[in-house]
């Protein structure tokens, strides 16, 4: 894991001095003069007064360049003339350097984005400026995925990178849209019920432009029926349901993104604050609806926390002093005042969610829509957000709607709950079918080893050892990430590596799949470090946490073919494995739909299974998976669990690194705790036997 | 400011025309009285940024859709990063792949603005502003815009034909980029009185001959050819998948046309 960036307060000064641009310009100006002199020597341009330094013969070129003469004598006067005539332009180049050295253009972008005739262009450049540093990380992760897949082409690097870019762009755009960016007018809420949806059907219709449509996109024909969804002021309502059931779509229908941004359809009676949601776009209701989108971090559109929180009033053209007061108020309400000067990229996941909530509250909205606020947060942060949402609804009278599949965490403070499933929205009791707070949260990583001690156990003595790792030691940035780890994995078993963030699980898996560090990794008795690309893939396969980075084709079918080709496997291997994982018989309509889909249009669970199938193309003896259940709901988890059992059942050794204790204890035969780079008990087969 | 199309269209074309004039200044120089000849190059240098500011000013209203703006911003970041990373190996080559594909996927106006912003951001990142920056902006912008103006293909092998067409355009654009960038810079680079110098009094044929020779040794035989090759390879390898990725983020129909 990468430690968070240091939190440096960001300066707003436009004028500053840096010597580098001046040096750069000086080199360019001198280079300009030198090149000019060289051209003139080559083309008879230094033949002037003064002494003749070198007397080269004049060469005349044939037609059509008959008028051109080359070389000729070089005289001191001619040389001086060449230099002198170049000086004015060289001076211009140097002057540009001087301006560059004194003005920080990136700060001008931020100023321009606050208003004025060029605010569109300036905002574009602010987004670009904030995206550049993130690209470095993205490139590293995508390059790693490419290496793990064994691909070499540029496509395997460029396509996932562009997919990430587009994903980020859409997230930023949605976040800007719901905060009033580009609004021509602002609509006020009436005194009506904040949210009133009756007999509403949400759908994704056929695309109007058939030529550009992706065939087989699963959203086609998707509908969600909302019989009655009415939320009064001062209440907190929970929208629950598995991933893919439409929680986000439901929230987007309320915010207006569904109809005005995602090209979705909405039929029926749909009013928010008395405004017809079908006709009024999100940007015009930004004054009374605050929205926190899923994974808010990728949608940040500013450089500093203060600018991000103040985005909505700034976009509305409010004067800077009032914006600053509003920002201070919203930050205080959420408790992020200390973060205001921070660089937006230096926030932890929990801080980012709080900042996003503050940014949604800055216009003092009557309605607050929050999508999955608890994802990837530790217990303390989750508790803080629960308290905040509770107080907003029940003390400040805001109408709060939260989409969250961790029902148990919020049931106690919720007034009502709407559950999504089978294309319908049904009102249920807030706590129905959910474990009490804390217990149900399977992916919590703050439970100690004691909780899982029971499942920490012996290596299965039956299977033969597939992987034997000894003394793996990895140092990252001066810190010991993996400390002398030794591990056995046996044929047919599934092993879970558990432990908190930063314990070194991902690093260990990587060291097993691509051994570079100190220590030895043997698969079936052969040293993996000595294997070439293909042989290595046949020995050990790793599915990285960002498993989508493995995908680079335009259809699942093509993706499978590509995987076969790269692994040197017989045609149809990956396709058959993928379909088997999903229980879709070849030739069925389900299989046809899956294969024709764009890989990124598959559901999260299907995509993870595809990534596993791709990595198994070379029939590796050892399968390693980093966080197999990240972002998955119960149904998708069982899909992945079945795929892992199948993989192990074929005689492979399977190891997963996971926070998800429930998943680990359900699936794994032994769980090894990892802490501060050290492996806990049960890692070695011999230790069990003795 | 939102411009009505009746005002915006002539302003946009006026901006492009102004820029084209700046690029082609050596052609206009003979028409200027002798006493003013010395000022002509500097007027040309001033015209290009003026044209760039005019166009961005006029087009700014078109980038008020959040989706267009965010895509433009993130793709600008990618283009600028590619350009900065590629500085040591000939600079602008790989950027063309992005400009052409984005122009194709999102239209001429998007392609133009992407070209302009990529140059602006990469120059900011590197501190590499100079008199050439506005010219680079236009040349890159036109490469992206041109891809957006290519005809739409139909038929059974439309996807393959599209990539072939874009690759052909890429070769053309690579050489054209080199030629226009050399053209305005040529008199500055060589000065007067040399064998391949621009001669205000000479015939058009002779001046063009001198220019072509200058261009050939400056970039056409080297950088431009390299750029053409990398662009074709890039489009062939990543073109279909990148186009699909870009087109999956659908822009509002009237967002930028």
B71, closest residue in chain A (CA to CA): A169
Alpha carbon separation from A488 to A485, A672, A682 (Å, rounded) = 10, 11, 9
Which of B57, B66, B253 has its CB closest to that of A118?
B57
Contacts of B138 (CB under 8 A, 6+ apart): B19, B23, B48, B51, B52, B115, B116
Most confident of the following: A50-54, A102-106, B13-17? B13-17
- CA–CA dist B95, A140 (Å, integer): 20
> Residue A255: its pLDDT value, please?
92
What architecture is domain B65-248? Answer: Orthogonal Bundle (1.10)
Nearest to B184 by CA among B211, B222, B217, B221: B211
Q: Are A382 and A413 a contacting pair, CB within 8 Å?
A: no
Whether residue A679 has pLDDT greater than 80: yes
Whether residue A688 has pLDDT greater than 80: no
Do the Cβ atoms of A131 and B61 come within 8 Å? no
Which of B81, B117, B240 has its CB closest to that of A125?
B117
Separation in Å, CA of B209 to nearest CA in chain A: 6
Nearest to A407 by CA among A634, A148, A204: A634
A residues 357-416 lying closer than 8 A (beta carbon) to B: none
What Rg do the C-alpha atoms of chain A give, in angstroms? 31
A104, closest residue in chain B (CA to CA): B124
Query: Which has the higher per-residue pLDDT, A141 or A405?
Result: A141
A182, closest residue in chain B (CA to CA): B64
> Residue A190: its pLDDT value, please?
72
pLDDT tens sequence across A59-87: 777 776 767 777 777 777 777 877 887 88
Separation in Å, CA of B37 to nearest CA in chain A: 14
Whether residue A457 has pLDDT greater than 50: no
- CA–CA dist A198, A272 (Å, integer): 12
- CA–CA dist B122, A14 (Å, integer): 18
> Residue A400: its pLDDT value, please?
94
CA atoms within 13 A on the CB side of A422: 1
The number of C-beta contacts closer than 8 angstroms across A and B is 232
| Residue to test with chain B: of A121, A154, A315, most B Cβ within 10 A | A121
Query: Is A17 an interface residue toward B (CB < 8 Å)?
Result: no
| Angle between helical axes of B40-59 and B108-126 (0-180°, round to 10) | 120
Nearest to A613 by CA among A545, A514, A519, A541: A541
Burial class of residue A110, CB neighbours in 10 A (0-12, 13-18, 19+): buried
> Residue A5: its pLDDT value, please?
40
Per-domain boundaries in chain B: 65-248
CB atoms within 10 A of CB A516: 9
| Dihedral sign of CA atoms A121, A126, A127, A131 in order | positive
> Residue B240: its pLDDT value, please?
87
| Residue to test with chain A: of B245, B251, B257, most A Cβ within 10 A | B245
Coil, helix or strand at residue B182: helix
Chain B residues with CB under 8 Å of A36 CB are 189-191
Q: In what order do the strands lie in the sheet with A236-240?
A: A275-276, A265-272, A195-203, A223-231, A424-428, A416-421, A236-240, A399-403, A367-371, A289-292
Q: What percentage of chain A exceeds 70 in pLDDT?
A: 89
Contacts of A112 (CB under 8 A, 6+ apart): A118, A119, A121, A122, A123, A125
Report residue A434's pLDDT band, with 50, 70 and 90 as the boundaries. low
> Residue B32: its pLDDT value, please?
67
| Residue to test with chain A: of B73, B201, B205, most A Cβ within 10 A | B73
- A58-60/A69-71 β-pairing: antiparallel
Chain A residues with CB under 8 Å of B189 CB are 32, 35-36, 39
Separation in Å, CA of B31 to nearest CA in chain A: 22
Looking at residue A672, what DSSP letter applies? E
Partnered with residue A474 across adjacent β-strands are A482
pLDDT tens sequence across A542-562: 998 888 888 888 889 999 999
Alpha carbon separation from A224 to A213, A277, A410, A591, B56 (Å, rounded) = 22, 16, 24, 24, 43
Q: What percentage of chain B exceeds 90 in pLDDT?
A: 16
Query: Is A252 an interface residue toward B (CB < 8 Å)?
Result: no
Do the Cβ atoms of A96 and B238 come within 8 Å? no
Which of A20, A40, A121 has its CB closest to that of B190?
A40
Query: Is A49 an interface residue toward B (CB < 8 Å)?
Result: no
Question: What would the two tokens of residue A496 be?
Answer: 């879970």
A residues 85-144 lying closer than 8 A (beta carbon) to B: 85-86, 89, 92-93, 96-97, 99-101, 105-106, 117-121, 123-129, 131-132, 135-136
Separation in Å, CA of A222 to nearest CA in chain B: 18
Whether residue B88 has pLDDT greater than 90: no
- CA–CA dist A373, A382 (Å, integer): 8
Contacts of B56 (CB under 8 A, 6+ apart): A118, A121, B113, B116
Query: Which has the higher per-residue pLDDT, B102 or A423?
Result: B102
Whether residue A362 has pLDDT greater than 90: yes
Determine the Cα angle at A496 with ends A494 and A498, to 5°: 180
Chain B residues with CB under 8 Å of A40 CB are 190-191, 194
Do the Cβ atoms of A67 and B117 come within 8 Å? no
CB atoms within 10 A of CB B248: 19
Q: What is the ipTM of this complex?
A: 0.84
Which residue in this structure is represented by tokens 């039956």? Answer: A462
Calculate the average pLDDT of chain A: 81
Do the Cβ atoms of A166 and B246 come within 8 Å? yes
Do the Cβ atoms of A20 and B127 come within 8 Å? yes
A217, closest residue in chain B (CA to CA): B248
Question: What would the two tokens of residue A526 be?
Answer: 């052969």
Query: Which has the higher per-residue pLDDT, A198 or A534?
Result: A198
A residues 280-339 lying closer than 8 A (beta carbon) to B: 283, 301
Alpha carbon separation from A669 to A211, A393, A486, A553 (Å, rounded) = 50, 45, 18, 36
List domains and CATH numbers for chain A.
19-102 (no CATH), 109-174 (no CATH), 195-207+218-428 (3.40.50.300), 449-689 (3.40.50.300)
A residues 594-653 lying closer than 8 A (beta carbon) to B: 598, 600
Query: Is A163 an interface residue toward B (CB < 8 Å)?
Result: yes
Chain B residues with CB under 8 Å of A67 CB are 202, 206, 209-210
Which of B56, B128, B194 has its CB closest to that of A39?
B194
Chain B residues with CB under 8 Å of A43 CB are 190, 194-197
Do the Cβ atoms of B70 and A127 come within 8 Å? yes
- Cα A146 from chain centroid? 17
- CA–CA dist A473, A517 (Å, integer): 6
pLDDT tens sequence across A489-506: 888 889 998 877 677 888
State phi, psi for B227 to the nearest 5 degrees: -65, -40
pLDDT tens sequence across B163-191: 999 999 999 998 898 888 888 777 777 76
pLDDT tens sequence across A633-645: 777 888 899 999 9
Chain B residues with CB under 8 Å of A165 CB are 74-75, 77-78
| Residue to test with chain A: of B127, B128, B152, B217, most A Cβ within 10 A | B127
Q: Which contiguous run of DSSP H or E holds residue A612?
A: helix A604-615
Cis geometry, peptide bond prior to residue A64 (ω within 30 degrees of 0): yes
- CA–CA dist B137, B114 (Å, integer): 9
pLDDT tens sequence across A208-246: 333 333 333 344 467 888 888 999 989 999 998 876 678
Nearest to A7 by CA among A281, A336, A345: A345
Which residue in this structure is represented by tokens 């008795």? Answer: A525
Segment B101-117 shows an average pLDDT of: 91
Separation in Å, CA of A479 to nearest CA in chain B: 29
Query: Is A263 an interface residue toward B (CB < 8 Å)?
Result: yes
Alpha carbon separation from A69 to A41, A53, A60, A660, B194 (Å, rounded) = 11, 19, 5, 78, 8
Q: Are B62 and B256 a contacting pair, CB within 8 Å?
A: yes
Chain A residues with CB under 8 Å of B247 CB are 212
Do the Cβ atoms of A161 and B188 come within 8 Å? no
Question: What would the two tokens of residue B80 be?
Answer: 């600028």
- CA–CA dist A160, A598 (Å, integer): 13
Q: Which contiguous run of DSSP H or E holds residue A425?
A: strand A424-428
Nearest to A670 by CA among A659, A660, A658, A655: A655
Segment A194-214 shows an average pLDDT of: 65
Do the Cβ atoms of B245 and A166 come within 8 Å? yes
Segment A139-149 shows an average pLDDT of: 88
Report residue B51's pLDDT band, with 50, 70 and 90 as the boundaries. confident
DSSP states of B7-49 as a string? HHHHHHHHHHHHHHHHHTHHHHGGGS-GGGGGGHHHHHHHHHH
- CA–CA dist A410, A374 (Å, integer): 10
Segment B196-210 shows an average pLDDT of: 73
> Residue B205: its pLDDT value, please?
75
Query: Is A154 an interface residue toward B (CB < 8 Å)?
Result: yes
Do the Cβ atoms of A162 and B73 come within 8 Å? no
- CA–CA dist B232, B96 (Å, integer): 10
State phi, psi for A14 to the nearest 5 degrees: -80, -40
Chain A residues with CB under 8 Å of B237 CB are 153-155, 158
Query: Is A62 an interface residue toward B (CB < 8 Å)?
Result: no
CA atoms within 13 A on the CB side of B203: 7
Whether residue B34 has pLDDT greater than 90: no
Nearest to A312 by CA among A275, A287, A333: A287
- CA–CA dist A670, A493 (Å, integer): 9
């Amino acid at each position: 894991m990468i430690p968070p960036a240091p939190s440096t307060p960001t300066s707003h000064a436009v004028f500053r001095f840096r010597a580098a641009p001046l040096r750069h310009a000086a080199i360019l100006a001198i280079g300009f003069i030198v090149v000019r002199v060289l051209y003139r020597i080559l083309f008879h341009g230094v033949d002037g007064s003064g002494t003749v330094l070198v007397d080269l013969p004049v060469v005349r070129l044939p037609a059509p360049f008959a008028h051109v003469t080359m070389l000729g004598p070089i005289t001191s006067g001619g040389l001086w003339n060449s230099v002198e005539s170049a000086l004015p332009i060289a001076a211009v180049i140097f002057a540009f350097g001087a301006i560059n050295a004194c003005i920080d253009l990136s700060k001008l972008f931020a100023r321009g984005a606050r208003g004025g005739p060029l605010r569109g262009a300036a905002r574009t450049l602010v987004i670009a400026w904030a995206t550049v540093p993130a690209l470095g990380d993205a490139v590293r992760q995508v390059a790693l995925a490419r290496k793990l897949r064994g691909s070499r082409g540029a496509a395997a690097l460029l396509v996932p990178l562009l997919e990430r870019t587009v994903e980020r762009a859409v997230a930023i755009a949605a976040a800007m849209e719901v905060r009033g960016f580009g609004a021509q007018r602002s609509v006020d809420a009436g005194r009506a019920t904040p949210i009133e949806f009756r007999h509403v059907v949400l759908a994704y219709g056929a695309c109007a432009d058939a030529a550009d449509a992706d065939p087989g996109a699963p959203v086609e024909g998707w509908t969600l029926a909302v019989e009655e969804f009415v939320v009064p002021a001062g209440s907190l309502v929970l929208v629950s349901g598995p991933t893919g059931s439409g929680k986000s779509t439901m929230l987007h229908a309320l915010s207006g993104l569904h109809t005005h941004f995602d090209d979705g359809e909405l039929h029926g009676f749909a009013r928010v604050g008395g405004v017809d949601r079908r006709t009024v776009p999100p940007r015009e209701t930004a004054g009374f609806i605050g929205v926190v989108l899923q994974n808010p971090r990728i949608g940040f559109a500013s450089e500093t926390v203060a600018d991000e929180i103040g985005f909505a009033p700034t976009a509305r053209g409010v004067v800077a002093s009032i914006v600053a007061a509003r920002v201070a108020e919203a930050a205080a309400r959420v408790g992020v005042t200390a973060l205001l000067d921070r660089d937006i990229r230096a926030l932890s996941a929990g801080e980012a969610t709080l900042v996003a909530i503050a940014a949604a509250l800055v216009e003092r909205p009557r309605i607050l829509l929050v999508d999955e606020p608890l994802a990837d947060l530790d217990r303390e942060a989750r508790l803080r957000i629960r308290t905040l949402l509770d107080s907003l609804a029940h003390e400040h009278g805001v109408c709060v709607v939260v989409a969250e599949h961790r029902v148990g965490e919020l049931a106690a403070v919720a007034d009502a709950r709407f559950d999504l499933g089978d294309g319908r929205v049904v009102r249920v009791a807030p706590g129905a079918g959910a474990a009490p707070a804390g217990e149900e949260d399977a992916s919590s990583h703050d439970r100690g080893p004691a909780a899982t001690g029971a499942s920490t156990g012996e290596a299965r003595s039956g299977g033969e050892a597939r992987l034997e790792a000894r003394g793996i030691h990895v140092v990252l940035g001066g810190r010991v990430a993996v400390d002398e780890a030794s591990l056995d994995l046996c044929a047919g078993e599934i092993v879970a590596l558990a432990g908190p963030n930063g314990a070194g699980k991902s690093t260990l898996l990587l060291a097993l799949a691509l051994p570079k560090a100190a220590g030895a990794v043997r698969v079936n008795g052969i040293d993996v470090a000595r294997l070439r690309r293909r042989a290595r893939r046949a020995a050990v396969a790793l599915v990285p946490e960002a498993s989508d980075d493995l995908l680079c084709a335009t259809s699942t079918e093509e993706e499978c073919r590509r995987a076969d080709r790269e692994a040197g496997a017989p045609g149809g291997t990956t396709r058959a494995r993928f379909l088997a994982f999903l229980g879709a018989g070849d030739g069925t309509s389900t299989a046809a739909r899956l294969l024709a889909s764009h890989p990124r249009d598959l559901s999260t669970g299907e995509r993870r299974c595809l990534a596993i199938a791709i990595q198994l193309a070379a029939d590796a003896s050892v399968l390693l998976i980093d966080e197999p259940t990240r972002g998955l709901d119960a149904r998708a988890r069982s899909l992945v669990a079945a795929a892992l059992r199948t993989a192990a059942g074929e005689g492979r050794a399977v190891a997963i690194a996971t926070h998800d204790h429930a998943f680990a204890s359900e699936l794994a035969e032994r769980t090894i705790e990892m802490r501060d780079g050290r492996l806990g008990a049960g890692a070695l087969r011999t230790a069990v036997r003795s | 400011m939102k411009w009505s199309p009746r005002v915006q269209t002539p302003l946009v074309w006026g901006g492009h025309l102004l820029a084209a004039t700046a690029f082609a200044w050596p052609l206009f120089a003979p028409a200027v009285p002798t006493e003013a000849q010395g000022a002509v190059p500097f007027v040309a240098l001033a015209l290009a940024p003026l044209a760039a500011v005019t166009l961005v000013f006029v087009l700014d209203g078109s980038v008020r859709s959040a989706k267009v703006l965010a895509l433009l911003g993130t793709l600008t970041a990618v283009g600028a990063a590619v350009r900065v990373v590629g500085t040591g190996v000939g600079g602008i080559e790989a950027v063309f792949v992005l400009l052409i594909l984005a122009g194709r996927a999102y239209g001429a106006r998007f392609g133009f603005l992407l070209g302009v912003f990529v140059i602006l951001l990469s120059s900011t990142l590197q501190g590499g502003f100079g008199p050439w920056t506005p010219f680079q902006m236009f040349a890159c912008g036109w490469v992206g815009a041109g891809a957006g103006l290519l005809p739409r293909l139909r038929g059974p092998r439309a996807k393959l034909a599209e990539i072939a067409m874009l690759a052909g355009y890429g070769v053309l654009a690579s050489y054209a980029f080199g030629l226009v960038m050399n053209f305005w810079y040529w008199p500055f680079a060589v000065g007067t009185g040399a064998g391949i110098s621009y001669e205000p009094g000479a015939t058009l044929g002779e001046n063009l001959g001198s220019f072509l020779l200058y261009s050939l040794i400056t970039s056409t035989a080297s950088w431009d050819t390299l750029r053409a090759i990398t662009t074709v390879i890039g489009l062939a390898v990543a073109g279909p998948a990148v186009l699909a990725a870009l087109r999956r983020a659908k822009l509002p129909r009237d967002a930028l046309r």
